[in-house]
Amino acid sequence: MRRLLALRAERRLSREHVRLAGECLGVSERTVWRWLAEASRSPRAALCPGERSSDRFEITREIRVLLAYWHGNASAVHRQLVARAETGPHGTDGQPTPAPESAALPAGAPPAAVLLLNPVPSLSTFLRAVRRDLTAGERAGLASGPDAARAHDVFGERATSWRNHVGETDHVQAPLPVDADGDPVRPWATWLIDTATKVITGTAVTPGVPSRASVLAALRAAVLREEPYGPAGGTPEQVRVDRGKDFLSTAVTAAFGTMGITVKDLPAYSLHLKGTVENLNRAVDPGLIQSPGAGVLLQVKGVSAGRVGG
């Protein structure tokens, strides 16, 4: 900001300078112009241009309680604060008086929970403070509950587990064509990954759309530990799947049940619940997949997939 003031004194300040300053400071171009105007009117503002005022209105813990009573309705909270301020701080005996029953609007906070603000900020100032001091997840949670808040927040890390505790399986299509009996096709890979060690324990590659046979082949490769499958692998205690018909077919579920593997059928649109295999799917790109000769060799992070270390 001091550099902008110096440019303005030299009559070399342009709109481009202001725009770039706003991008660097994370504010709008209009805000930078306002800071420059304040610096020209106040010596203090000129010393610290853009400094936030210490008396600006902020959302306190008590106001958060009111927002919770009103399920995030900031305008209703503001109306209740105005109604409380209109009663005055003291009664006829000089003692503080509680908020009247009229201040407790329908579905609002009880009178004892309504704090007295003097002065009450304007509605626009109050709404701006709510947007600034509460995250999008907090506002969604107040309005619709914790499930709505989770859609805006970062999901927590899973607890540390052990090898073959939980596996995740999925299909992914390779992003390059290969020759299959003279026809160019984009092969599919079905793999099972161990969530604790991030090792791909089983893989099946098919030239066409994968099926229950692909799942069974990947499961066999994951369970067997002798050559050419070992040494990693083994029988997982649980496998997460994404409601695919091939993963939940009779043959596949019977194979899982025979080996004592619990199948966790995840709800729809919940990719975060099997994030390990989804991240593996995203790792596939043309630079990491090769097609040498007549066969197909999948490579992830430069390591042959059939049994890949994380």
pLDDT, residue 53, reads: 58
Take residue 187 and report the two structure tokens written for it.
Answer: 């092969």
Structure confidence at residue 52 (pLDDT): 61
Within this chain, do residues 22 and 137 fall inside the same structural domain, yes or no? no
Name the least confident of 23-27, 79-83, 250-254: 23-27
Residues 40 and 66 in one domain: no
Domain with 170 in it: what CATH number? 3.30.420.10
Domain termination residue (choose one: 91, 124, 150) = 150
Instruction: Kindly state whether residue 179 falls inside one of the protein's structural domains.
Output: yes
Q: Do residues 38 and 75 share a domain?
A: no
pLDDT tens sequence across 1-49 = 778 888 888 888 888 988 888 888 788 888 888 888 887 777 666 666 6
**Residue 220 pLDDT level (bands cut at 50, 70, 90):** very high
In a domain, 157, yes or no: no
pLDDT value at 75 more than 90: yes
Q: How far is CA 24 from the centre of its chain?
A: 25
pLDDT of residue 91: 45
- 235 in the same domain as 105: no
Q: Are residues 262 and 181 in the same domain?
A: yes
Q: Are residues 131 and 224 in the same domain?
A: no
Let me know whether 240 and 277 are in one domain.
yes
Q: Are residues 93 and 117 in the same domain?
A: yes
Q: Is residue 295 one of the residues assigned to a domain? A: yes
Is the predicted pLDDT of residue 291 greater than 50, yes or no?
no
CA 36 to chain centre: 37
Q: Which of 40, 36, 39 is nearest to 17 (CA)?
A: 36
Residue where a domain terminates, one of 92, 124, 150: 150
Residue 100 lies in a domain: yes
Whether residue 194 is contained in a domain is answered as yes
- For residue range 159-206, what is the model confidence (pLDDT) as tens digits? 788 999 999 999 988 877 888 888 888 889 999 999 999 999 999 998
* pLDDT for the residue numbered 22: 86
Note whether 190 and 274 are same-domain residues.
yes
Could you tell me if 163 and 196 are in contact, meaning their C-beta atoms sit under 8 angstroms apart?
yes
Is 54 within the bounds of a domain?
no
> What pLDDT does 227 receive?
86
Are 20 and 112 members of one domain? no
**Which of 87-96, 228-237, 299-308 shows the lowest mean pLDDT across its residues?**
299-308
- Is the domain of 201 the same as that of 295? yes
The stretch 66-91 carries a mean pLDDT of: 83
Asked, for residue 56, whether it belongs to a domain, the answer is: no
203: part of which helix (H) or strand (E)? strand 200-206
Taking the alpha carbons at both ends of the chain, their separation in whole angstroms is 48
Tokens for 207, please give them: 């030239």
Judge whether 155 lies within some domain. Answer: no
Predicted TM-score (pTM) of this structure: 0.48
Mean pLDDT estimate for the chain? 79
Whether residue 76 sits in one domain with residue 131 = yes
Residue 87 clears pLDDT 60, i.e. is over it: yes
Q: How many structural domains comprise the chain?
A: 3
Tell me which residue range forms the domain holding 290.
166-304
